[in-house]
Structure 1
């Protein structure tokens, strides 16, 4: 029995871990849109988002290239918090249809093929559509001095507002 106890304990821990992994897999959905790059895992920066997004880093920031480039997929109604980048940002929309808004401006519909150039220090948000998923490439510009400042979540009222 003494030899069986550690084995049973180990099996119990493994089963609990497998159940937790299964829960994560269930939460991760496959985008209903076709895109160039593989959909990433659930975004580890989710605390700055409303809803579920997925991230694949295509180029990590380093001292050689200074070019963090991420492939971000947004489920419908998912969006970033309001935020700004001290060095600006460029979004390249790969698939689907989403929303983008600069503070004080009307919401814009963004879709496959659109390029959104966001100047430094402009407060904005971006995300999926009301009923559509959207994938974009996020290019951080003017690195290494580009810092992101995350602000408050985007209200449902702002998200649902009529587009320009």
Structure 2
């Protein structure tokens, strides 16, 4: 594994253990060149997934991109990072278990929405506002009414 600090081609594994949810191996590594220490995760990948965007463009499924979009929705919410990581792993496993190598982006979006709704209502609405392209406050009100989420008192 290449060192992220000095770009040295090799690093040494100092410690390996399963991640919290058992879906990955966490490895602590050290660079013999610069002494930098870093962590890597090794996960099982059943198949290469391609996401088909609304425009028809195809991109490889990127777990890190999924994690970034979820973390934006979860920003400043009182949810433990381990729960978020488990949720992302669950979504990735569900996508792989569908059995198709090409999946519409809407499939990913709906899975994220389902998982976020179960985890945190605010993050769910935040994600939905981008995913469903809300333009006005009425879009939020309509969505909240459709989802059975109540609006705050006095509004």
Band of TM-score, shorter chain = under 0.3
**TM-score, with structure 1 as normaliser:** 0.24
Higher helix share: 2
